[in-house]
Amino acid sequence: MSPATKISSGSTKRSAAADTHPEETPFEALAGICSVLVVGLFILTFLAQNYVIPSGSMENTLLVGDHLVVDRITLIPPASWMPLIRYREPRRGDVVVFFKPVYQPGIDQTDADGTPQYTQLVKRLIGVPGDHIHLRNGIVIVDGVAQPVGFAQPTTTDNFNEFLDDFPAIPPAGVPGATESWAVSFPSYIQGGDLVVPPGMYFMMGDNRHNSLDSRYWGFVPRANIIGRPLFNYWSFEAADGQLEQTGFGHKLAWFGHVLVHFFPDTRWKRTFHIVH
C-alpha cells in the first residue's frame, strides 16, 4: 500500500471516530450561548458602549446618525482590581461622552415615572482644571495661546454671535438655553476676562459652535460625569437633526421601517470604521 493510500486510510478512520462523538446536548448549547451573552454584556457594561449621535452639535466631526463604539475604560478613575488597564486623565482636545451636569426641563427627557434623566452628551474637551479660557471672534484661546480650529465650524460675519464667539464677554443670564445656576455662579470664575476652570472640572464645547448647547450655557462638567471617549464609527445612517431623539412606539416603529427600506442608499459607507479624533 502506497504512503498516499495510508494517509487517506488514516484520515477516513479519524473521520469515522469523529462521527462517533456524542452530539451537543441542549444544556451544553444553552451554556455556550449564555457564556457569549455574559462576555458581551461585560464588554458593553464595563469596556465599551454603543452611542448614537442624535444632533448636529458636533458636525462635521460627528454627523447625525453616526453609531459609535465608546471606550469606557481609559478615562475612568484607576481601579486596583484592574491593574493591566491603561488609564489616563482626560486631555484638552479629546472628544468625550459624559453626563450633562444639569437637568433642563423642556430640553432633557424624563423617565416614565417623571424622574429627570441626566442626558449623555458628546462634545470636545476644551479646558482642563486650571486653564484660562476665552473666545475671541470664535477662536478658542487657552492660557493665552490660540487653539487649532480643526473641524470646528468657522466664525464669519454672517454667523457671528457675541455671546458664543466672544465668550465670556457677556454673562449668560437671559440667553436661551442657559441655566439660572450657571448665570449666578458664572462671574466668580472670571479672572482678567478669562474663564478659569476649577479643580476637578472640565469645559466642553461642540465643534458646531453656533448650534451647540454646551459649557457656555450650563457650566463645567465634573470629572465623575465623564464616561469615555468615542473610538470609531461602526455604522452611519443619514438622519435629520433631532430625528433620533423622538420618543414613543410609533416614532420608533416608523424609523425602523425607514431604516429597512433605505438601509443601502442612506448608509454612509465611507464613514464605516471612521476613527474619531
- Domain-located, residue 20: no
E strand or H helix at 34: helix 26-42
- Domain-located, residue 76: yes
- Domain-located, residue 188: yes
199: domain CATH number is: 2.10.109.10
Domain count, the chain: 1
- Domain-located, residue 181: yes
Measured CA distances, 60 to 63, 101, 152, 211, 271 (Å): 6, 25, 7, 12, 12
- Domain-located, residue 80: yes
Measured CA distances, 89 to 70, 77, 85, 93, 256 (Å): 16, 8, 13, 12, 38
Q: Which domain holds residue 142?
A: 57-255
Q: φ and ψ at 67, to 5 degrees? A: -110, 120
How many angstroms separate the CA atoms of 269 and 127, rounded?
A: 34
- Closest-CA residue to 149 (of 56, 61, 270): 61
Which residue is it, cell 429597512? 260
- Domain-located, residue 51: no
Q: Which three cell numbers stand for residue 266?
A: 442612506
- Domain-located, residue 24: no
Instruction: Show pLDDT as tens, one digit a residue, over the chain (277 residues).
Output: 444 434 333 444 455 545 555 666 766 556 555 555 444 444 444 445 788 999 999 998 999 999 999 998 888 776 655 566 678 899 999 999 999 999 988 888 887 777 888 899 999 999 999 999 999 999 999 999 999 887 788 899 899 998 899 999 665 566 788 888 898 898 999 999 999 999 999 999 999 999 999 999 999 999 999 999 999 999 999 999 888 888 778 888 998 999 999 999 999 999 999 999 8
* Residue 238 near residue 266 (C-beta atoms within 8 A): yes
3-state SS of 144-186 is: CEECCCCCCCCCCCCCCCHHHHCCCCCCCCCCCCCCHHHHHHH
pTM of the prediction? 0.80
Q: Sort residue 219 into left (φ over 0), alpha (ψ -120 to 50) or beta.
A: left
